[in-house]
């Protein structure tokens, strides 16, 4: 029986406990026109998805939280019900598209069927159209969702479906979960025994875990109060930005840092400008970001991420100084094994009874946290152009959800020589997503001016 990992299940638990959240991720692919007929689009996508089990399965919970939820085949599965089509309202511009994306992403996916949707959006400028691919975060992380893009619109062969997961019913799920609970002590003993066979490796892992947990603990201190955290409403704002990947690489080479350092420094500059725009003081501890780090080893659709929790240097006025500080902080966190500790915690949770894990997540969802201010995720996308029914996809924008008093989120995606930013915010309290988007583009331009011309 294929069960959700504790991390996968956490996204469902958080959504259940936070009535303002809709924890689906998405990509918005902009394609050259004309848009295909709806039936043509549905048939093409359905054929490519036929071999991916998750797109035929729904979540089945276990009574009394005795075990994590399971993926089971949906006996009433109707692929056509997961596709929608809308015309972009006037004035048919980028702002209208962003408003429509925010509206569609604010609606929760229905739990009694597979957790995904596709929307065709017509009427973009220059005869273009868009594909909004929406999937619940419990089903996939950003990297897995990006891989789906290559299956749908690239040359990757469509997979052949071999896995079957019929719904076992509540009684079977309950018995299976009870058996798993009884096996936990034996499984844990076997894991410990296996580690003891390699004492040097075990000592290194214990040392790394201790360092990482210490780093995580220090990162959980509250930040200075800002309007960037607090209760969320139901409505969202969404904005986009786009820069040349070559410019980002030139900056990274000139300052001997990584591409991710440059992007995070640009986001830090964007938040500094946003705070100043709102009349706030960008203090050194104003903005701590949750930065997902992939620990993926396979190709399954699920969440395989850990995290880093750096403070963004919004107090520094100079873009280069911000870049250097971001690089230093990320290097320190990586050396401190912070991501390793996060991965260890999620891996350990998989070998514990599910009920206390679920209860802890639900309790945490109600705590007034003030240590994480934003989420900034960077996903490498396809380097070569993709095509939707013969139409070239010119840009792909990412969407990241927000929840738990985190009022802004920034997703970054590289595709075909560009890096795009998708910025999500709470419409009631942080409506200035366009301020943040434009500031990020200016930050990249300012940093590019400090690098030699290519």
Q: So what's the pLDDT on residue 191? A: 45
Tens of pLDDT, residues 220-269: 667 788 899 999 999 999 999 999 999 999 999 999 999 999 999 999 99
Distance, CA of 95 to chain centre: 23
Tens of pLDDT, residues 328-338: 999 988 887 66
Sign of CA dihedral 267, 273, 274, 275: positive
- Active-site choice (56, 82, 137, 327): 137
Cis before residue 71, ω within 30 degrees of 0? no
pLDDT higher than 70, residue 65: yes
pLDDT higher than 90, residue 149: no
Mean pLDDT of the 56-64 span: 88
The answer for residues whose C-beta is within 8 angstroms of residue 103's C-beta and 6 or more apart is none
Mean pLDDT of the 279-284 span: 94
The answer for residues whose C-beta is within 8 angstroms of residue 449's C-beta and 6 or more apart is none
Note if 366 is an active site residue: no
Considering 62-71, 258-267, 377-386, the range whose residues carry the highest mean pLDDT is 258-267
Residue 196, phi then psi, degrees to nearest 5: -65, -20
Mean pLDDT of the 306-321 span: 93
Selection from 450, 433, 424, 438 nearest residue 269 by Cα: 438
Q: So what's the pLDDT on residue 264? A: 97
CA distance 421 to 399: 8
Angle between helical axes of 259-277 and 433-448 (0-180°, round to 10): 130
């Amino acid at each position: 029986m294929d069960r959700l990992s504790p991390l996968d299940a956490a996204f469902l638990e958080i959504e259940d406990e936070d009535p303002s959240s809709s924890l689906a991720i998405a990509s918005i692919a902009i394609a050259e026109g004309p848009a295909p007929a709806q039936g043509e689009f549905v048939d093409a996508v359905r054929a490519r998805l036929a071999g991916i089990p998750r797109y035929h399965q729904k979540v089945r919970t276990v009574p009394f939280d005795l075990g994590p939820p399971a993926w089971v085949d949906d006996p009433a599965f109707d692929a056509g019900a997961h596709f929608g089509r809308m015309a972009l309202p006037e004035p048919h511009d980028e702002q209208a598209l962003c408003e429509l994306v925010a509206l569609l992403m604010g609606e929760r996916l229905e739990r009694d069927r597979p957790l995904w949707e596709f929307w065709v959006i017509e009427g973009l400028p220059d005869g273009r159209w868009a594909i909004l691919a929406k999937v619940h975060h419990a089903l996939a992380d950003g990297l897995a969702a990006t891989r789906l893009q290559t299956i749908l619109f690239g040359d990757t062969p469509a997979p052949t479906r071999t896995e079957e997961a019929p719904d076992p019913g509540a009684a079977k799920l309950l018995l299976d979960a009870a058996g798993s609970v009884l096996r936990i002590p034996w499984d844990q003993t076997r894991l410990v025994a296996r580690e003891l066979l390699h004492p040097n490796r075990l000592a290194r892992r214990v040392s790394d875990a201790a360092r990482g947990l210490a780093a995580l603990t220090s990162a959980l201190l509250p930040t200075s109060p800002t309007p960037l955290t607090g209760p969320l409403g139901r409505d969202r704002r969404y904005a986009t930005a786009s820069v040349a990947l070559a410019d980002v690489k030139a900056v990274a080479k000139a300052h001997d840092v990584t591409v991710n350092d440059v992007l995070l420094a640009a986001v830090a500059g964007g938040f500094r400008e946003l705070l100043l725009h709102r009349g706030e003081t960008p203090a050194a501890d104003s903005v701590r970001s949750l930065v997902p780090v992939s620990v993926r080893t396979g190709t399954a659709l699920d969440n395989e991420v850990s995290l880093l929790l750096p403070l963004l240097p919004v107090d520094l006025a100079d873009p280069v100084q911000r870049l250097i500080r971001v690089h230093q902080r990320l290097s320190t966190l990586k050396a401190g094994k912070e991501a390793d500790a996060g991965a260890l915690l999620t891996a350990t949770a998989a070998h514990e009874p599910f009920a206390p894990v679920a209860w802890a997540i639900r309790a945490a969802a109600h705590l007034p946290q003030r240590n994480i201010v934003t989420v900034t995720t960077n996903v490498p996308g396809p380097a070569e152009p993709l095509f939707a029914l013969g139409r070239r996809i010119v840009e792909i924008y990412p969407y990241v959800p927000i929840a738990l008093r985190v009022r802004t989120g920034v997703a970054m995606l590289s595709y075909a020589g560009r890096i795009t930013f998708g910025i999500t915010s709470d419409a009631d309290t942080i409506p200035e997503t366009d301020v943040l988007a434009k500031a990020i583009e200016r930050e990249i331009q300012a940093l590019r001016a400090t690098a030699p011309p290519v």
